[in-house]
Amino acid sequence: MPANLTPEFIKARARFFKATTTEEKLAALEDMQSTIPKHKGTEKMRADIKRKIARLGDADIRAKKGHSSGHDNIPKEGAGQAVLVGPPNSGKSSLVAALTNAKPEVAEYPFSTLVPIPGMMKFEDVGIQLVDLPPLSDEYTEPWVYNLIRAADIVILVLSLDEIDLLDEYLGDLRRMLSERHLELATEAAVGEERVRILPTRIALTKADALPGAAELLAELPFPGVVTSVASGEGLDDFRRMIFDALHVLRVYTKLPGRKPDLAEPYTLPAGATVLDAVRTVHRDFADHLKYVRVWGSGRFDGQQVPSDYRLADGDIIEIHVG
């Protein structure tokens, strides 16, 4: 569908490209947002403008506050980054300690975690980053905690079954505290209104050893969840798979002509990725010199030559031919 852009929009876009300061950029983006024709053909562009505004807006606020705790950013590693969010003492650090190489402090008293601790969790042959966070509470939570949540790919709400009576109250409080910081929870990722970040969310009901039969509760939760116990190990495999599934990534392996595929370390790409996306991920320059690609796995037959817009499936093996 043609976008039918108006002259006003085109002018605003030109200003955006020339803008050098955050303020100029934001002003131009806001003009673009108000002048872009609103129909299906401009959906992607509108979402992109919204995203840019949200991102610049955040950077702007941070710069003005001159705020830095040293915890504003955890570099992402692996197939995705999931942050553990919950009230004090719910078992966040215990999960990170049980599932990753990291060694966060676990304690009987609340507010034991004061700094973010990242660790890598393995799901089959993929690494997923879990980030242990301090608890959310109205009085004690520092702003950088919310910045880290905003930057994550997935939120895992960690709620303890030994406080089952408070489950609804905790859920309500957490959603309120997040929404006051323009963070909304949802089952799947979505683009929010200006400055609002919508985060895909999963739930871990912890300490299952303390309350047998809790799996029945899962159907009543607002987001998909699992029941876990680090004491018994229950649900930890389900937890790994749930987070992997929620990331919506696919794994692609590569092979050289005449050789066996490298099955040790897959590339991870967003679900729906094409052969060309994969080629670019393997090597930026390959895309320019691409001759053809053969696929093992989802093709109709093994070693089939596929076009560059061919959509890959999880587990596909590709052989890239460049010339």
102 binds ligand GTP (CB under 6 A): no
What residues from 215 to 234 belong to the interface with ligand GTP (CB under 6 A)?
229-231
Sequence-separated (6 or more) residues with CB below 8 Å from residue 223: 157, 185, 186, 187, 201, 202, 203
What DSSP designation does 109 have? S
Measured in whole angstroms, the distance separating CA 187 from the mean position of its chain's CA atoms is 12
Nearest Cα to 83, choosing from 112, 53, 117, 54?
A: 117
Contact range with ligand GTP by CB under 6 A, out of 61-69, 207-215, 250-258, 300-308: 207-215
Among 42, 93, 100, 254, binds ligand GTP (CB under 6 A): 93
100 binds ligand GTP (CB under 6 A): no
Measured from the CB atom, the residue of 91 and 266 that comes closer to ligand GTP is: 91
Measured from the CB atom, the residue of 132 and 316 that comes closer to ligand GTP is: 132
Contact range with Mg ion by CB under 5 A, out of 20-28, 111-119, 169-177, 277-285: 111-119
- Asked if 181 contacts 199 with a C-beta cutoff of 8 angstroms, the reply is no
* Phi, psi dihedrals of residue 267, rounded to the nearest 5°: -85, 140
Q: How many residues bind Mg ion (CB under 5 A)?
A: 3
Residue 136: CB minimum distance to Mg ion, A: 12
Nearest Cα to 288, choosing from 319, 312, 322, 249?
A: 322
272 binds ligand GTP (CB under 6 A): no
Among 13, 50, 207, 240, binds ligand GTP (CB under 6 A): 207
65-104 footprint of Mg ion as x/- string (CB under 5 A): ---------------------------xx-----------
What residues from 112 to 171 belong to the interface with Mg ion (CB under 5 A)?
113
What DSSP designation does 101 have? S
Sequence-separated (6 or more) residues with CB below 8 Å from residue 245: none
How far apart (Å, rounded) are the C-alpha atoms in residues 233 and 239? 11
Residue 214: CB minimum distance to ligand GTP, A: 11
138 interface partner picked from Mg ion, ligand GTP, none, CB below 5 to 8 A per type: none
Residue 84: CB minimum distance to Mg ion, A: 8
118-147 footprint of ligand GTP as x/- string (CB under 6 A): -----------------x------------
What residues from 73 to 92 belong to the interface with ligand GTP (CB under 6 A)?
86, 88-92
**Residue 308 identity:** S
- Residue 180 tokens read as 């006051």
110 interface partner picked from ligand GTP, Mg ion, none, CB below 5 to 8 A per type: ligand GTP
How far apart (Å, rounded) are the C-alpha atoms in residues 79 and 269? 8
In Å, how far are 39, 47, 50, 251, 310 from 44, measured between CA atoms? 10, 5, 10, 26, 21
Among 209, 221, 261, 274, binds ligand GTP (CB under 6 A): 209
CB-facing half-sphere around the CA of 86: CA atoms within 13 A: 28
Count other C-beta atoms under 10 Å from residue 250's C-beta: 22
Q: Is 135 exposed, middle or buried (0-12, 13-18, 19+ CB in 10 A)?
A: buried
* Chain residues that interact with Mg ion, rule: CB under 5 A: 92-93, 113
Residues at the contact surface with ligand GTP, assessed by CB under 6 A: 86, 88-94, 106-108, 110-113, 135, 206-207, 209-210, 229-231
